[in-house]
Structures are given as C-alpha cells and as structure tokens.
Structure 1
Amino acid sequence: MTDAKAGCPEAGTDKPGFDRGLLPPMLLGSVLNPINSTIIAVALVPIGRALGAPASQTAWLVSALYLATSLGQPVVGRLIDVFGPRRLFLLSTGLVGVAGVVGALAPGLGVLIGARVLLGFGTCAGYPAAMALVRSEAERTGRDSPGGVLTALAVANQTVAVVGPLLGGLLIAVGGWRATFALNVPLALAAVLLGLLRLPKAKTPEAKPTAQSTAQSTGGSTPRGSLAARLDLPGMGLFAAMLVSLLLFLMNPHLRDWYLLALAAAAGAAFAARELRAATPFIDLRVLGGNTPLLATYGRALVAYVVSYSFLYGFTQWTEEGFGLTPFHAGLAQIPMFLLATGVSIVSGRSTSVRGKLLLGAVGQITACLVILLLGGDSPLWMLLLVALIFGIPQGLNNLALQNSVYFQTDPERTASSAGLLRTFAYIGSMVASAATAASFGQHADTGGLHRLAWVMLGAGLLYLLLTLFDRTLGRTAGTGTRASL
C-alpha cells in the first residue's frame, strides 16, 4: 500500500523510519472534518439571524453533516481497506471544495443544509486514510506506532476542533458567515494537491485477501469473487438504512416518529443476518462481537462525544445569546481550552497508558459540567474561561486515548473501516448532543436551557467514567506492539 520510497532510518536502529512525506496530506485530510464540525458552532446564530431561522432549524446544519459523515466514514473506510487511500482521498477532498462553493453561494437554509451534507461525505476519507497509512507504514517499518504519528494525528484533530470556533469567529468578523464555507475551497485545493504529490499509488483490490475471508473460506482457500461481493454492497445498503433511520429519530426524538425506530430495528436485524452469512462482510459481526475491548471503546466514544459536542454547540450558543458575547469573542473565550488541550495531548502522547488518560478525561468532563451548573447571565467572565480551561483536559486526552485504543484493538486488515466506525459512534454521540441542545434551548439559548443541557452532559460523563472503571481490558491496550485480546 506504500510507495517504494522509504523513510529515513531512525536513530539507533537499522529499521527504516516513517515516511514523513505522508504527514502533510494525512494531517490536512484528517482535520477537514473537525474544522467543519466546530467552525459552524459560532456561525449558527449569525446564520439564523440572516436567514430568519430559529435555533431548532439551524440545528440541522449540525445534524446534516453528522448524518452524512456517520454513514460515510465506515463505508469509505472499507473502500480504503480494499483500494488503498489515494483515490478515495482525492475524490472526497475534491467534494469538500465543491461543498464550500455551494455553501458560500447558498440562497437559503435548504441549500445550506445540502452543502453541509456534501461536506459530510467529502470529509469522510481523511481520517480513515490517515489511519490506513499509519498501519501500512507500521508494517513496512516494523513499528506499531511509527515516529509517534498517532499522537501527531490526535493532536492535529483536537487542536483544530478546539481552535475552530475562534477561527470561525474571526472569519465571520471579516467576511460574514459565508466565509466559514468559502474556507473549504483553498483547504480542498491544498489537500488534493498534496494527495497527488505524496500519497502512494492505489493497490489492486484482488491483491491481498483479508484475514476474515481466509477464515471463512472452506478448505483453507480464500474466496475472491466479484468486486461487489468483496465490498458487500447489500451489507452497506442495510447499514445505511439502519443508521439513517436511527439518526433521523435522534435529530428530533418524539413518540410520533416511532416508525423510524422500527425501521432502524428491522434494517439492523436484516443487516446482522446478512453480515453473519457474507463471505467478506462489510462489518464482520462475528469478529466484532468477540472483540469486547473494541466494543467498549466504541461505547466510550459515543458518550464522550455527547459531552464534548454538547459543550461545543450548547455552551458556545449560550455565550452568544445568553451571555451576550459576539461570535469572535465567543471563540476567543475558548482559547484556554485550546492551549491546555494541546499541551495535555503532547505530554500525554509520550505515555502508552490508555486507562489513565480515559479516567482523567472522565473526571475533567464531570468537573466542567458541575461548574456549568453554576453559570448565569451575570456570571463573571473568568467563570466562562474556567469552564473552557477545565474542558481542555478531556479534550486533550479522550480523542488520543480512543484513537490509540482502536488502532491496537482492531484487525489490521480493517484499520480504515474500524477507524471510520469509531467516528460513526462519535457522530452518533454528536447527534444525541445536537438533539439534547435543541430540546434544552428551544427558540433561545438561555441560562435555564444551558443548565438542562448540563444535566444531560453530566449523566453522559458519569456513564463514560463507569465504562472506563469496569473495563478490565484497558491495561492490555498500549502502544507496545501487542494488541488487546480479541
């Protein structure tokens, strides 16, 4: 999957080092999604004012991206596992540029939501492609985490996620909310150019059978079959039906929409039946079902992102509407979180421990939620800065720990799709956060709504802590070249 071009040998060893030329497209591609996820936080209020839309409608700008990305990440990840990262990376990042143009010129909220859907699909390839490249370089160099690249990837993603609101506020101050969409045009051009210059050529789909295909074949032979069979298109379709139905319900949960849950359950049952019989399943449920550590990691990702995205969208909207800050100052108020999160990620990235990071991240989330319950419209500014500072601890720890957990717990042949599935669970959490934010605030982001949202966040934070405390497999998940038991 990699070029013939090898990286320089690392000091003190004859083994080749990680190909540093891969880092620019890896990092830029992987941050396209978090920058679009977070930059919209400070743009929701200006967009609502400009288009005459209440918070309950502008929430679709958040939900639309996550709906597309939740569906697209594991699907594109599976395509990367089969074809290699280059062509998927180029197609997807090109779509980001198209979405940026559509959003910048959108005449109304409907077209703007469509642009966010395009952004969701366009940003699907960056992170799975980066994780696949880390895996291929690990195989080439004989190092499970070559050159600390996993830490660099996590730091880049969390840094962009935190600085997004500040960047969004600056863009809005200079060019209005449309500038937050136009930003994607130069970013996409840079990503496509770097991908063309640096990414390895695509591999042939039939070149390497997966471990699952080998295990499931009879007599020890590997069934290759058609490309459609290897991709498991029916499985992808059923997965899409299940996820779309579930997320549509989560966008605006109400008993009148019970049929969406019924559709999700029916599609889920059909998906499970299909995957258990498929020779090369889209998601191998037999392997995944026996991989308790990975399932626990996905569960932690879901609840962790309920907290973090409730803070990102809910707290940011409240600082503008309930506290009276401008979009730029609302982003500026999160600078303490940005600085601390970056430092925490860099320092903690030197350790292979996962459990310690997760526990400290859980405590940080719970503490920040408790402080939010003390906030009011007349609170001093330093209390807002304190909340942002406390949130910097879990922001710097959780993403890194979850990413490293998946890397060492998953089947190497499905690194990209497993990384995409991690993002899917995270985005399901973000959809829950979006629904909770809309339900808590209604038509206006006032202090009462913020406190209602804080109780939801606190419950999710406590669940995250429990999922970590009672997971005995975490001690075996570390970047030492050994994986947790499957």
Structure 2
Amino acid sequence: MINGNNKQDKWIILAIALGVILNPLNTTMITVALPSIQKEFQLNTTDISWLIASYFIISAIFTPLIGKLSDTYGRKNIYLIGMTLVVISSILAPLSPNMPVLLAMRGIQAIGTSALLPAGIGIIRNTIQNKQNRVIGTLSVFATTSAAFGPTISGLLIQFGGWPVIFYVNLPVLAVGIVLAILFIPKDEKNTAKKYKLDVGGIILFSLLITYWMVFLLSLEDGLQIGTFLLAIVLTVLFLVFEKKKEDPFINVNFFQKNSNITVIYAQYILSTVIFFAILLSLPTYLQSIIGVGSDSAGLTMLSLSIFAMVTTPIATRWMEKAGFRIPLLFSGLTGLIGVSLLFTIQYDSPLYWVAVVLAIFGISNGVQNIGLQNLLYSFIHASESGIASGLLMTSRFIGNILASSIYGLAFATGMNDGNMDTMVIVLVVVAVVLLPGMVYVTSHERAGRREQ
C-alpha cells in the first residue's frame, strides 16, 4: 500500500509510521493492564477512568496545538521532541511509586505522542510527492490497526513483566523511529512567515469544558449534579462563541457550519469510537476478573476483534469504490448493533470461543465503519481543507474515547460484574441505534459531496 518516489521516501514513511502508531497503541495497551494497576495502587473505578481519560484530554488539547506549532517551528524538530518525551515517559512510568506520578508520566506520554501525528503528516505532505493521499490513508490504517492490537500485545507481554511492560515495549519502536527520523527526514527549512499566535483563551476554555463534562458524567452515580451540568453547558457555549470570533482559532468551529453533512459525520465518528473503546476498555478486565482467565488468554481473545477489523478494512475500501458508501455503512451499523446486542449473552461462564465470535462480529463492523466514515468525510471537502478535517477527526476520536471512559467509570462504579456489564451494554445498544439514522442521512448526500470536490 505504501508508495514513495525512491528508497529515501520509504524510509521516511517508515519513520513516520513508527511514530503515528504510538498514540493509539498506548491508549489500548493499558486496557489489559488495568486489573494489575488497580490492585497495585488500590484504585477505584473512578480513578481508573481518570487514568484513561486524562490521556485523551491531553491528546485532544495538544494534537491541534502541536500541529500548528510544527508548521511554525519545524516539523522534524517537533517530531523528534515528541519522540524524546515518549522515551522519557516510557522509562519513568514503570518506576511510578503512586497514582499521581503515574498520571504525570502518562500525561508526558500523551503530549509526546500527540506531536507525532500532526508533525508526521506535515512531513509527508512536504517530502512525499508520489501518491501522497494513499500514503496518508495507509498511516491512518496503521494507527487504527495498532489500537486494535494493543490489548493483544499487552496481554501476551504482561505475564512476563507485569504492567510496566506496556511502557517498555515502546522503547525498541522509538529507537528505530528516532534513528530513521534523524537519518532520512530532511532538515526543517527556516520559516520566515508570520509566527503562529497562540489561542490561549480557546485552549483554556476547551480544556475546562472537556474536564467538566467528564466530572459531570462520572458524578451521575450520585445523582444529577445540576451545578456541574450547567457549568459544563456554559463553558461549551462560551467556547463556541469565543472560537467563532477568532481569526486563527484553536478549534475551527466555523468549519462545521459549511456543511451539515460534515458535522453529522464527525458525530457518527464520535459515537462509533464510544462503542469501540468501551468494548476495548471493559472486555479485557471482564475476561480476567469475572471469567477468570490470565492476561495472555484475555489478549488472545481480543485478537479476534483486531484481526477481523484489519482484514475487513481493505475489503470495505474496494466495496465502497464500487458500490458507494450507503450500503457498506448501513451494513456496518446493523452488524455493529448485532455485535453489541450479543454482548448480553456473555456471562461469567461463557466459553472464550463465544466471546471471540462476538468480538469478530464487532470487528467486521468497526473495520467497515472506521474507513467508511473517514473516506466519506474526505468526499465532502476540498483538498485544501484536508488538514483541518483530519485534525478535527482526531479530536472527534479523542472525544469518543473520553465519553467511553466516562461510561466505563459510571457503569462499573460498584465493581466489575455481570449486572454492571449489562448496564454498559444497554448504553452501547442505544448508541448503536442512534448511529443508524445518521448513516442514512450522510450517505443520502454522498453524490452531492463528490460533485463539490
């Protein structure tokens, strides 16, 4: 799938690929390690939710910010700084004596990995001329695939080194990536253009609204917190009003007003991510805590989702090229609804092969849905807007992950058991049902979207 002009191009692409997989990989590798981390630091489910969600909150803030900074201060420089931060966190996180230190190390890791995708895509756009869009699409598939394989990788390795191994596994990837980046990525050209003006107000408001929505969702266990809810709404409105007036906003909210289809696609992507990550969060812990298997068996069982998602992606791409988006995306929505509904059949005495079958069904759905929504998005926008669109797509994924973390924390606040798992599944079924009319709406406009390009 990867194409470059020459041998150096291929080494550049490999260097970037090794970087862009680190954020999604590290967001899912931790899922199998959660029981061990929870036991060692004596954490409750809310603590675990914050450990997971804080990574996404930081990523949601720094990904668009670093994307703009890399355009000003040099993409190679920012890329190597990001790699260095991940090295530091990967070495120090396993030595954490308590939860606050582990949170801090995960925060450094989130900042580092957030630099790699926007800076990496910028490097590709500046250095790779042959089939550039296909290269970027391939990197997106790598990122998605690495997220799906995270639980399997960590599950197989944790049995040898405990939860710290999920950080050490980054080091060989980083070593190769840094060497290739230094040797083959061209030096940054000096930027004499106007420097980027930091949207401090937008960053602060965005950080606060994301955090307060998380606080509100996790507080629902104790009843509706009206004050927190109203504050979250006020912060959201303030952020939207503030950013609409900015010439160079932190998040380009005006982009959504140009086409309602684009807004719905982002909403669909958020909901799709909620289902995907909620399953990745809950199933590894459920397999270890309730069904009673080891981390290696839990990881191997999760492999079913990974393999079917990965195999389905290229098949779905060809299918959409021939049939358009409507039938494949509706298929993905219905298959996802079936897969999520079948989670009700998984109980404490369920055989692992049945869990694998259910995960396979969902893997097929996710493989079609993920690539379908991304390709559908790009069919509605001009090439000049692809940078904004891809950045907002990443932000949508982070928001979906944060919501999934909140659902996880709320559903399992009293512990991991069959009843609480059913509660979470009910929420996911509702989300899966809501996805279907959205699929009908955006695919009814796909032809118009193609004509506008």
Task: Please confirm whether the aligned pair reaches a TM-score higher than 0.5, indicating the same fold.
Answer: yes
Q: Do the aligned partners of residues 413 and 274 (structure 1) sit closer, same or farther apart at CA in structure 2, a change above 3 Å counting?
A: farther
Q: CA offset at residue 449 of structure 1?
A: 1.3
Residue of structure 1 in register with 2:38 after alignment: 48
Report whether the alignment pairs 1:461 with 2:447: no
The within-5 A match list for 1:253-402 is 253=220, 257-350=225-318, 351-352=320-321, 353-402=324-373
- 8 Å CA contact 1:77–1:418 kept in 2: the answer is no
Aligned-partner Cα distance in 1 for 2:159–2:180: 30
- Report how far residue 203 of structure 1 moved: 4.8
Contact 2:218–2:410 (CA under 8 A) maintained in structure 1: no
Task: Spell out, residue by residue over 1:153-188, the C-alpha distance to the aligned partner (whole angstroms, 9 max, x if none).
Answer: 233122211211111112211111111122233333
TM-score after normalising by structure 1: 0.83
Structure 1 residue aligned with 2:155: 169
Aligned equivalent of 1:474, options 442, 446, 450: 446
Change (3 A) 1:115 1:335: same
SS of alignment partner, residue 470 of structure 1: helix
Q: Is the 8 A contact 2:8 2:184 kept in 1?
A: no
Cα offset for 1:397?
Answer: 2.1
CA distance in 2, matches of 1:61, 1:133: 31
1:158 corresponds to 2:144: yes
Please state how far the C-alpha of 1:262 moved relative to its aligned partner.
3.9
> What is the CA–CA distance in structure 2 between the aligned matches of 1:463 and 1:205, rounded to whole Å?
46
* Matched-pair contact (CA < 8 Å) for 1:251–1:431: no
**What residue in structure 2 maps to residue 428 of structure 1?**
399
CA distance in 2, matches of 1:90, 1:260: 40
The aligned residue for residue 210 of structure 1 is none
Measured in 2, the distance between the counterparts of 1:341 and 1:99 equals 30
Alignment partner for residue 438 of structure 1, among 396, 399, 409? 409
Match of 1:218 in 2: none
Verify the 8 A CA contact 1:31 1:157 in the aligned structure 2. yes
State the shift of 1:135 in Å.
4.7
The answer on 1:246 being equivalent to 2:232 is: no
- Please, what is the CA RMSD of the aligned residues? 2.8
Q: Show the counterpart of 1:212.
A: none
| TM-score, normalised via structure 2 length | 0.88
Please identify which structure carries the higher helix content. 2
Q: Distance in 2 between matches of 1:483 and 1:123?
A: 35
Structure 1 residue 329: Cα displacement: 0.5
CA contact (8 A) 2:274 2:401 kept: yes
What is the rounded CA distance, in whole Å, between the counterparts of 1:258 and 1:204 in structure 2? Answer: 51
d(CA) in 1 for partners of 2:137 and 2:104? 34
Once the two structures are superposed, what CA deviation does each residue of 1:28-56 show, in whole Å capped at 9, x if it has no partner? 11110111111111000011122222333
State which of 118, 131, 154 in structure 2 corresponds to 1:128. Answer: 118
Count of aligned pairs between the two proteins: 446
| Cα distance change, pair 63–287 in 1 and its aligned pair in 2 (3 A) | closer
Instruction: Give the drift of 1:196.
Output: 2.3
Q: What are the superposed Cα offsets for residues 255-299 of structure 1, whole Å, 9 maximum, x if unpaired?
A: 675444444444433433333333333333333311323212210
Instruction: Quote the Cα distance in structure 2 between the aligned partners of 1:162 and 1:78.
Output: 28
1:239 Cα offset (Å): 2.8
Moved more, 155-164 or 17-26: 17-26
What is the CA deviation profile of residues 51-110 of structure 1, one whole-angstrom value per residue up to 9, with x for unaligned ones? 222333223221121111122222222334555532222222211111112211001122
Preserved contact between residue 251 and residue 432 of structure 1 (Cα < 8 Å) = no
Deviates further, 407-416 or 194-203? 407-416
Q: Could you tell me which of 114, 117, 138 is aligned with 2:104?
A: 114
2:23–2:113 contact (8 Å) kept in structure 1: yes
Residues 396-427 of structure 1: CA distance to partner in whole angstroms, max 9, x if unpaired? Answer: 22222233344454565554453232222222
Percent identity of equivalent pairs: 25
2: CA distance, partners of 1:304 / 1:473:
20
- Which structure 1 segments of 5+ residues have no match? 1-5, 10-16, 208-223
Alignment of 1:52-71 (within 5 A): 52-71=42-61
CA distance 1:203–1:39, change in 2 (3 Å):
same
1:191 and 2:159 are equivalent in the alignment: no
Alignment pair present for 1:234 and 2:201? yes
Once residues 124 and 329 of structure 2 are traced to their aligned partners in structure 1, the CA distance between those partners, rounded to angstroms, is: 23
